Amino acid sequence: MLGNLKPLEIVLILLVIILLFGAKKLPDMARSLGKSARILKSEAKAMKKDDEAPVADTHTAESAPAAPKTIQAAPGDVTSARPVTEPNHTTQG
């Protein structure tokens, strides 16, 4: 469908978009779209990394204290980082 558009039609579509949203809002929209794409990319990498990581031996995990894990909204964004609580795997009894 997009392959059939002529250059004049593309220019008219872009002009209508600029008129609808305003030239001031377009950079903000593009910035938020880029931030969302970075978040999606970092989450996808984290999921792949979690799938590839071998299961840790419980004896080595107990000997070394682990640093608290955090979730960040975007790579390098420390202002929105929040701690992650993980379920406790110890048995009660």
The pLDDT of residue 17 is above 70: yes
Report DSSP state, residue 4: G
pLDDT digits (tens, 9 = 90+) for 41-53: 999 999 988 887 6
At position 91, the amino acid (one-letter code) is T
User: Does the pLDDT at position 12 exceed 70?
Assistant: yes
Model confidence pLDDT, tens digit, residues 50-93: 887 665 555 554 555 666 666 666 666 666 656 666 666 665 55
DSSP assigned state of 83:
E
In angstroms, rounded to a whole number, what is the distance separating the alpha carbons of residues 67 and 79?
18
